[in-house]
Structure formats: structure tokens, C-alpha cells
């Protein structure tokens, strides 16, 4: 009787969740927590070192860029941890495809978050040289951020196989208030 119970425990331990053993799940959680810890170390150590380097320059632009990029570049260790988890887990078929798409989406989010946060220092330099008025600079900065995130969301949706063209047509239809050019039922 005890042998049959131990057999069931062994089967549950080895099969775990959707065929992934408990050991693999525990190791995956450890990898994710390691990525989170490395994120903290990365932000604390690497950015302090970069701040020391930027303090040696006369330009204030590098200080502003470094400050705005701290949060989005902090996503990098977590994205790498997710990638390592997808390599480690014995995934195949649809779960493997979903895991790869999650990693691709995390990479795209990191890239577009970095681009969006770098807009402020760039437009800060425009206002410092007074090529544009303050309201024009603010409007262009917001428009650039919206454009970056619209493209980023489009890329992320495309990663998951959601077609952007029909979606944008539907959104245009919804916001136009007119049904004269409808492409079919919504």
C-alpha cells in the first residue's frame, strides 16, 4: 500500500503540471527570482557606475537619458530569465509557441518602453535650444510617445498572430461614427 502511494507521489512529481515535472517548475521559479534579483543588482550597480561616468561629462543630456532609461532597461534581466526558462522547460507544440511569443513580446515591450522613455530627453534638448515653443515641444513629445506605443502595441499584437490591418479598420469604423463604409459585421 505504501509502495502504491509512493508511486502516485512519484508520478505526480514527474508529470506535474501539463507534463512538466515539479522539479522543472521549481527550477523555473528560481530562474525567475534570480532574474528579479539580478535586475535589482543591475540597476543598483551598473547604473551607479554609468552615473559616475556621466557625471564626468559636461553635458546634462546624458544624465537625463540615463535617468529615463533606468526603469525600461531594468526589464532586460527579467526578459533574459524568461528566455532561459523557455529553454529549460521541456515544452513542445502550442505551449512552446506561446512561451516563445511571451519572450518576444517581453523583448518588444522592453525596446518600445526604452524608446518611449528616451523621448523626453530628446525633446528636452529642443526646448533648451528654443527651436520650438514650450507648448509645441510638449505636444510633439506626447505625439511621439503615442506613436511609439501604437507601433509597439501593433508589434506585440502581431507577435501573437493578431492581424493589425483588420483591427485598425474596425477601430477607424468605431471612431468615425459613420457606418457608410462598413466592411462587414463587427
pLDDT at 180 over 60: no
- Dump pLDDT digits (tens) for 26-72: 999 999 999 999 988 888 888 888 888 888 887 777 777 777 888 88
Look at residue 175 in the predicted model and tell me its pLDDT: 63
Residue 143 pairs in a beta bridge with none
pTM: 0.76
pLDDT band at 181 (very low <50, low <70, confident <90, very high): low
Distance CA 158, CA 149 (A): 14
Look at residue 59 in the predicted model and tell me its pLDDT: 75
Indicate left, alpha or beta for 19 from its phi (over 0: left) and psi (-120 to 50: alpha).
left
Look at residue 172 in the predicted model and tell me its pLDDT: 67
Residue with cell 463604409: 181
pLDDT at 149 over 60: yes
The distance from CA 82 to its chain's CA centroid, rounded to whole angstroms, is: 11
DSSP-derived secondary structure for 118-176: THHHHHHHHHHHTSS-HHHHHHHHHHHHHHHHHHHHHHHHHHTT--HHHHHHHHHHHHH
Measuring CA to CA, how many Å separate 112 from each of 66, 116, 181? 16, 6, 33
- Dump pLDDT digits (tens) for 72-121: 888 899 999 999 999 998 888 888 999 999 999 999 999 999 999 888 88
The listed range with the strongest mean pLDDT (45-59, 61-75, 139-153, 155-169) is: 139-153
User: Would you give the end-to-end CA distance of the chain in angstroms?
Assistant: 60
Amino acid at each position: 500500500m505504501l509502495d502504491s502511494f509512493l508511486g502516485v507521489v512519484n508520478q505526480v512529481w514527474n508529470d506535474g503540471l501539463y507534463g512538466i515535472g515539479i522539479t522543472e517548475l521549481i527550477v523555473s521559479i528560481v530562474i525567475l527570482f534570480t532574474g528579479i534579483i539580478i535586475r535589482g543588482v543591475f540597476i543598483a550597480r551598473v547604473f551607479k557606475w554609468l552615473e559616475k561616468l556621466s557625471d564626468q561629462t559636461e553635458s546634462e543630456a546624458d544624465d537625463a537619458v540615463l535617468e529615463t532609461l533606468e526603469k525600461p532597461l531594468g526589464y532586460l534581466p527579467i526578459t533574459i530569465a524568461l528566455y532561459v526558462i523557455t529553454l529549460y522547460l521541456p515544452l513542445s507544440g502550442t505551449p512552446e509557441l506561446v512561451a516563445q511569443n511571451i519572450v518576444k513580446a517581453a523583448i518588444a515591450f522592453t525596446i518600445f518602453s526604452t524608446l518611449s522613455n528616451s523621448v523626453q530627453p530628446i525633446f528636452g534638448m529642443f526646448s533648451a535650444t528654443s527651436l520650438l515653443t514650450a507648448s509645441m515641444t510638449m505636444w510633439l513629445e506626447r505625439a511621439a510617445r503615442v506613436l511609439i506605443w501604437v507601433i509597439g502595441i501593433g508589434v506585440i499584437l502581431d507577435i501573437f498572430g493578431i492581424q493589425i490591418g483588420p483591427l485598425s479598420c474596425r477601430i477607424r469604423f468605431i471612431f468615425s461614427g459613420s457606418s457608410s463604409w462598413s466592411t462587414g459585421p463587427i
